[in-house]
Amino acid sequence: MAETEVQEFARPTVEVNTYKKANTLKAKVLENRILFRDGDENDVRHIVLDAKEMNYLDGQSVGVIPPGLNEKGNPHAVRLYSIASLASRMPHSENLTLCVKRAITKDEATGQVYRGVASNFLCDSKPGDEVTLTGPAGRKFLLPVESEIHRPYIFIATGTGIAPFRGFLQRLFKHTPNFHSPVFLLFGVKTRAELLYDEEFRAYQHSNFFYFQALSREMKNKAGGRYYVGDIKHDHPGKLWPVISDERAIIYMCGLKGMEEGVRNAINTLAEHHGKGANYYESIGHRIVEEVY
């Protein structure tokens, strides 16, 4: 079959940008709690917003317009954040939840510190504060339609890239009757303390759930270097390859730009080992869904 004829899985039809810059949704902060903190300014927050009017699916993102004006005197640009909660229409859905890392950059040469506008606003917000939203955004990073949902999944996350998978796991394990397909969650961060929602994930007592962590500063790969998500292939090839090579399986990855390279190499290495071509990853592009930022 020619590459262009390969069918992607069927995604639900979604509404996007029902709220736009000219017609935003003002949402109140309901909760802001620390998920990870190291020192005063290195933190990741779980932020819950009262945004019931917005109709979104888990995996979509929302836009946040920070208050105030930029250096040119114009309103700030929209920043996107993945939704970390279940689809709004699901029964028992939490309110719209974000998982936000405070962005701070230090210029080592001058000592100048730059604070990211939206992430610092969100991380410093208090219950009752107003957040201006657009969205929802995104038509691709979605689970398949209900009739196709019983498939194997590999979810690969780095850092706050875990956000959409929190909603996906809730949906599969709590809201999909008789869900028995294998689900792999491969989560890469620097240290154990940064494993966001670790307890929540460990609480999933499903024999078909496999949760592996890559702690780049605390684990060593086979070559003695830092251990990244792509290195998980060495430790669990017997489990991973049958799923990766299953034509029904969907591989989602979300997180830091650059992670896709490591994942591609890892999958191609496994594929070569199993007698597939060196460009196996490219041949399964129709069942790989990426969101990197």
Ligand X SMILES: Cc1cc2nc3c(=O)[nH]c(=O)nc-3n(C[C@H](O)[C@H](O)[C@H](O)COP(=O)(O)OP(=O)(O)OC[C@H]3O[C@@H](n4cnc5c(N)ncnc54)[C@H](O)[C@@H]3O)c2cc1C
Enumerate binding residues for ligand X (CB under 6 A): 61, 79-82, 99-101, 103-105, 114-120, 160, 163, 291, 293
Q: How far is the CB of 45 from ligand X (least distance, A)?
A: 9
Task: Give exposure, 242-275, as e/b (b: 16+ Cβ within 10 Å).
Answer: ebbeeeebbbbbbbeeebbebbbebbbbbbeeee
Instruction: State phi, psi for 270 to the nearest 5 degrees.
Output: -60, -40
Q: DSSP secondary-structure letter at 262?
A: H
Measured from the CB atom, is 105 or 283 closer to ligand X?
105
- C-alpha to C-alpha distance for 95 and 127, rounded to whole angstroms: 13
Nearest residue (beta carbon) to ligand X: 116
Residue number, 43 or 235, with CB nearest to ligand X = 43
Task: Indicate the residue type of 232.
Answer: I
Instruction: From 123, 132, 149, 119, select the one nearest 59 (Cα to Cα).
Output: 149
If the CB atoms of residues 30 and 103 are measured against ligand X, the closer one turns out to be 103
Cβ at position 204, least distance to ligand X in Å: 21
In the complex, what is the shortest distance from the CB of residue 150 to ligand X, in angstroms, rounded to a whole number? 27
Side by side, the strands of the sheet bearing 209-215 are: 209-215, 183-189, 153-158, 250-255, 288-292
Residue closer to ligand X, measured from CB, 219 or 256: 256
- Measured from the CB atom, the residue of 254 and 267 that comes closer to ligand X is 254
Please state the closest distance from residue 158 (CB atom) to ligand X, in A.
11
Indicate the SS3 state at residue 28: strand
Nearest distance from residue 70's CB to ligand X, in Å? 9
